[in-house]
Structure 1
Amino acid sequence: MTSPYVWPTDQVVLAKLDWWRDQKFGVIIHWGPYSRLGVVESWTLCQEGEDFMARPEPWQGDPDGYREFYEKLPEGFDAPAFEPERWAEACAAAGMRYVVFTTKHHDGFAMYDTRLSDYKSTTTPLGRDVAAEVFDAFRAHGLGVGVYFSKADWHHPDYWTPGLPTPDRHANHADPGRWRRFTDFTHGQIEELLTGYGPVDVLWLDAGWVKPPREDLDLPRLAARARELQPGLLVVDREVHGPQEDYRTPEQTVPVELQPFPWESCITLGPSWYTAGPGETYKTAGEIVRLLCRIVARGGNLLLGLGPDHTGALPDTIYERLAEIGAWLGTHGEAIYGTRPCEPYETDDLVFTRRADTIYAIGLRVDLDEVRVPLPQPPQAVRLLGHDGPLDWQTDDGEVIVRLPGSHRARHAFALSLTMPPAPNP
């Protein structure tokens, strides 16, 4: 049984959570030296036998040799096409409102200039503080900032102790002294990110298996210190339900109905979290637009996953998708941003959002000529976003019947704005 959601009690955190719920659309960017191999991030270091953990040839039967090979990947990580300004410009134009960037994945490689390890981007041929440049670029375009940080660290000797087997993703020892050192190390790295990298809105902690009682990183102390450094910070100890999970993060899926707590679906644009190589297929802009509409109508945010290839470049197709999504939001964004779910939530090909006295009925089929919107009372006015002319509409038995103009066919989805009479004073 899923544990109940615990609402924050800190008023500053609640205000930030309300801000975050208004943003609706963000981007999560995975990138690291693993991109040189085209494998699934850090997971090929894990020996649990899942298909996504499969190692490239010829390393399937040589776990120790593969780990040594993998940890030398940074020696060739030069990324000549790394242009965070271009990423930020494209994501802002797509209508994204915040970025979550992978400062450290499970392999322990820091994409920032940590003082606590030499396993980091500034010691590679690239020689740059990647996270700092990404955060600065996205802030310059008005986006909020989220720090992705894995609580696991398969490079650190106090998580995976050298000389001991590493049969799974967990720490491979039960030494209290080693674990205390690892806990201090983890707290220290997060403190670096929250003191030297500007304003941070979200601390997005991955590796949900790192939790009490087996792997206790003292998250209450970590979260308290994090909010001393960044007041109002949202802490997302994902998959560890409790007071350090300010919003929930279903991965590659969308809840089937309205959820009674803040949530965010993290879903990739392509087949993986970053660009593994040429020939990849991506979801269409229409699929993403309609996905966003359903998620927002169910009370969530969409965190769209993408990432550059080993050179630091995003493929042209990703830029094309982002531009097309942004064009739709440029016309229809008022039905998305700053809204909340609205009954009846979904009917047939319509989903609903609301802001104050305005209800938005978003149509997920663009070939309709007529729309029937169930409403408890007649609206005062009806508009079709992106259409300047009057609409032919009438009310009938608890429904508003709207004839869509033949000259107007929105791409991907359309949105009706229905202005309702003000609620009577109590």
Structure 2
Amino acid sequence: MSKVNSVEEWLVKDGVHNFSSEEDYVSPEDPLLLERLEWFQDQKLGLMMHWGPYAQLSTDASWMLCDHEAEWSRKCADWDVDAATLKQQYFDTNKTFNPIRFQPERWAELAADNGFKYLTFTTKHHDGFCMWDTKTTDYRVTGEDCPFHTHPYADICRQVFDAFRAKGLGISAYFSKADWHTPSYWAPGMLAGEVMHRGSSYNPKKYPELWEQFVQFTHQQIMELLTDYGRIEMLWLDGGWVSAQNSQDIRLGEVVDKARETQPWLLAVDRTVGGAYENIITPEQTLPEKPVHVPWESCITMSKSWGFKYEDEYKSARQLIHILIEVVAKGGNLVLNVGPQPDGRLPHIAVERILEIGAWLSVHGEAIYGTRICEPYAGEHCFFTQKEGTTYAMYLYSSETTQINQEIYLPLQHDIKQVDLIGSVEGLSFERTAEGIIVHLPAHELTEQAPIAHTFRIS
């Protein structure tokens, strides 16, 4: 990693967060939290949703509001207005947000039926718009300025959490610690020229009373979500620059400990901050180079964007499944993000990808769920996992036109009695070599169209 000049530069580049190192990980001591981390590591696949009024602009959440990020974040802002007007127009999208085709039950059914095990949902991004019926601000989906506030499903977080929970999925509540709408964080008139960066517009040490207002505001919002919205498995905190190390201390431990009085199982994900409240490490749009031996998940978009975009390009199912395989082989979870449309539906391409992932997992899922790192974790074109004395080898094909060889080399040197091809034939013939084994595929597997992967069960 190249040397950086400040905490903020290290934390975020073009809206993408770096991630904490395994060496700095602090394992919780509470036996219940350790148990819940084992649960988390069994799940392997989560669904993430970035959604809010910004979906109407066909842009990612929040970042175009930040003047210091304008070079990259406003490339999609192709309407000819000055920065102040652009920011006001963005903030005013709450006045037209009316997703009357919102389908929480359909979303939950689709996720549950296709192998997703938990949901990470954006309750509030950096722009400060609340997707629940908060009492702290009128800038919310149930506020009178938002036309959706009269709809029976107006409290979007409640509807989403209840629907996914009813299908047996765990709930992870994304929450931005930064809030660029509230005047106790971005305080009008307290920054020369109103040129905003991602942090607070004032020095909290110079204005402790104003900062305390923001701390109490943040605590109240978090406690609403963790008190009034049912069981929450994870509090997934974004905005890593809001931290004591960066002189923006919201006393996170205080509110998490209070929430754990009623939800003692709660995992905290204080991204990039480290310490006792970053129970899970979260690489973003990337994978670690090598296995990571502490709880972690990669958050990766199905398309190129976090929020809904009309002209978006989606990764193929093959790409997404290969990412899942590599993440799991390196000991992590994958949480795949989709941005719902402004009308409340999921993009049809996202639905197609979810169905394709589900079809693959329905056959090969035993090599994914509940597994742990296996030595060696990878070889040429293949990745390994293990579970309850069984090793799994997933041999990847980069495209449909990749040639399938009848002999598959796997660098496994432990004692092997049987090799099965999941979804096809049990008891394949194989031979040992000095470096591993060579497995012989049955003739009917030598098709013109290569599968996403061949998965072998090895015992």
Query: What TM-score comes out, normalization by structure 2 length?
Result: 0.87
Root-mean-square deviation (Å): 1.7
Select which of 286, 289, 299 maps to 1:266: 299
Q: Which amino acid aligns with 1:271?
A: K
Q: Which residue in the other structure is 1:70 paired with?
A: 90
Q: Supply the distance in 2 between the matched residues of 1:121 and 1:290 (Cα, whole angstroms).
A: 37
The aligned runs of 1:327-342 (5 Å cut-off) are 327-342=359-374
Select which of 406, 410, 416 maps to 1:373: 410
Measured against aligned partners, the alpha-carbon deviations of 1:266-325 in whole angstroms (never above 9, x if no partner) come to: 110011012211x32100001011110011111111110111111112121111111111
Task: Mark the runs of 5 or more structure 1 residues left unpaired by the alignment.
Answer: 420-426
**Residues 350/58 of structure 1: CA separation in 2 closer, same or farther (3 Å cut):** closer
Shift of 1:350: 1.2
Q: Which residue in the other structure is 1:314 paired with?
A: 346
**Residues 223/368 of structure 1: CA separation in 2 closer, same or farther (3 Å cut):** farther
Q: Supply the distance in 2 between the matched residues of 1:227 and 1:319 (Cα, whole angstroms).
A: 35
Q: Which residue in the other structure is 1:280 paired with?
A: 312
Shift of 1:143: 0.9
Task: Say which is worse superposed, 83-92 or 390-399, in terms of deviation.
Answer: 390-399
Q: Which residue in the other structure is 2:119 paired with?
A: 99
Select which of 159, 168, 176 maps to 1:142: 168
Measured against aligned partners, the alpha-carbon deviations of 1:157-213 in whole angstroms (never above 9, x if no partner) come to: 100112332420111123110110110110111000011111110100000111114
Select which of 303, 308, 311 maps to 2:335: 303
Q: Which amino acid aligns with 1:125?
A: P
Q: Which residue in the other structure is 1:225 paired with?
A: 258
The aligned runs of 1:19-38 (5 Å cut-off) are 19-38=39-58
Shift of 1:50: 3.2
Secondary structure, counterpart of 1:229 in structure 2 = coil
Matched, 1:171 2:203: no
Secondary structure, counterpart of 1:317 in structure 2 = helix
Q: Supply the distance in 1 between the matched residues of 2:347 and 2:101 (Cα, whole angstroms).
A: 11
Shift of 1:395: 2.6
**Residues 166/10 of structure 1: CA separation in 2 closer, same or farther (3 Å cut):** farther
Q: Supply the distance in 2 between the matched residues of 1:214 and 1:93 (Cα, whole angstroms).
A: 45
Shift of 1:406: 2.5
Shift of 1:389: 4.8
Q: Supply the distance in 1 between the matched residues of 2:435 and 2:454 (Cα, whole angstroms).
A: 22
**Residues 338/389 of structure 1: CA separation in 2 closer, same or farther (3 Å cut):** closer
Q: Is the contact between residue 419 and residue 426 of structure 2 (CA under 8 Å) also seen in structure 1?
A: no
How many residue pairs get aligned? The number is 417
Secondary structure, counterpart of 2:63 in structure 1 = helix
Percent identity of paired positions between Structure 1 and Structure 2? 44
Secondary structure, counterpart of 1:118 in structure 2 = coil
Q: Supply the distance in 1 between the matched residues of 2:80 and 2:179 (Cα, whole angstroms).
A: 21
**Residues 52/66 of structure 1: CA separation in 2 closer, same or farther (3 Å cut):** closer
Q: Supply the distance in 2 between the matched residues of 1:404 and 1:126 (Cα, whole angstroms).
A: 56
Query: What TM-score comes out, normalization by structure 1 length?
Result: 0.94
Q: Supply the distance in 1 between the matched residues of 2:288 and 2:104 (Cα, whole angstroms).
A: 32
Matched, 1:157 2:178: no
Select which of 433, 442, 445 maps to 1:396: 433
**Residues 50/9 of structure 1: CA separation in 2 closer, same or farther (3 Å cut):** farther
Secondary structure, counterpart of 2:100 in structure 1 = coil
Q: Which residue in the other structure is 1:355 paired with?
A: 387
Secondary structure, counterpart of 1:322 in structure 2 = helix
Select which of 203, 212, 227 maps to 2:235: 203
Matched, 1:131 2:152: no
Q: Is the contact between residue 59 and residue 307 of structure 2 (CA under 8 Å) also seen in structure 1?
A: no
Q: Supply the distance in 2 between the matched residues of 1:62 and 1:361 (Cα, whole angstroms).
A: 53
Q: Supply the distance in 2 between the matched residues of 1:369 and 1:126 (Cα, whole angstroms).
A: 58
Select which of 250, 270, 273 maps to 1:240: 273
Q: Which residue in the other structure is 2:14 paired with?
A: none
